Amino acid sequence: MAKSAAADFAGNLSVAILNQDDPELVRDSLPAYLLILDSLAASPEATGDILGASARLYAAYAVVFVADPDRSANLAAHARAYGTRALCADGRGHSCGIDSLPYTDLDLQLEKTDSGDASVLLSYVVASLAYIRTHGEDWQALAELPRMERVLNRLLVLSPDSDGAQVNTYLGVLNTLRPAALGGHPERGRVYFERALELTGRRDLGVLVDYARGYARLVYDRELHDQLLNEALQADPRQPGYTLFNILAQRQAAELLASADDYF
């Protein structure tokens, strides 16, 4: 009963944060809740739900709300540690250890995972990508990007509906990090972004911003860039499950539009 209550708290907290329309309130209050999650996760028997929620919230706080690079990197390291622990929580055998498997064995192990592993796999990816983003000068961290892509591709099979939009968005971003001439896959990324928009009914404005910043800027498509960002700015940000990040996305959209003349 205690484990269930703790998991419910972590899940309800995540929902409340996502539906909050005041980002500054979240920024100021989230540290206290992170400490509460730390206390819940301190138990060796902490569930995958608790560890996963801790990983995702630490990752979000580190990347979105912390400006100091050193502090952001430290918090992202906490997120990754929780995400890695979540892989082995609840007696899981299929996902446990994939963070350290050589690439030759990784795909074979991922094939053994099932839908019950999807949530912890996604938490692990979210936390790991936050870590990679805040450790951009660490080549060992950057070398983990192919591992993240493999896990995300597996998640497309395991969780195509419930987490599909988020997974497709991440894959869109990963495939548009570099131009085609340097090994990137912009057109593949475009397909992922379009699929994410379809799955969310275009209610997740962050997808529009990532699409514009990742794909449209990479291929120098000014018309698409401005179209996506103006759509984000004109939309109602208050959507169940997306409100907080929609408001933040609109702020980013305004900044990207303001800098467009200098970029293109």
- 213-223 tens-digit pLDDT: 999 999 999 99
Residues in Cβ contact with 225 at an 8 Å cutoff, skipping those fewer than 6 apart: 212, 216, 217, 256, 260, 264
Given this model, what pLDDT does residue 162 score?
A: 73
The pLDDT of 138-162, averaged and rounded, is: 91
Given this model, what pLDDT does residue 3 score?
A: 53
Given this model, what pLDDT does residue 163 score?
A: 87
Q: How confident is the model at residue 1 (pLDDT cuts 50, 70, 90)?
A: very low
Q: How confident is the model at residue 259 (pLDDT cuts 50, 70, 90)?
A: very high
- 48-63 tens-digit pLDDT: 999 999 999 999 999 9
| pTM assigned to the model | 0.93
Of the chain, the percentage scoring pLDDT greater than 90 comes to 81
The pLDDT of 159-176, averaged and rounded, is: 91
Q: How confident is the model at residue 9 (pLDDT cuts 50, 70, 90)?
A: low
> Could you confirm whether domain 160-264 is CATH 1.25.40.920?
yes
The pLDDT of 8-29, averaged and rounded, is: 86
Structure tokens at 223: 């018309």
Given this model, what pLDDT does residue 25 score?
A: 95
Considering the chain, what is the average pLDDT of its residues?
A: 93
Domain boundaries, the chain: 1-140, 160-264
Whether the predicted pLDDT of 160 surpasses 80: no
Cβ-based burial of 59 (10 A; exposed 0-12, middle 13-18, buried ≥19): buried
Given this model, what pLDDT does residue 137 score?
A: 86
User: Can you state the angle between helices 118-134 and 69-88, rounded to 10 degrees?
Assistant: 160
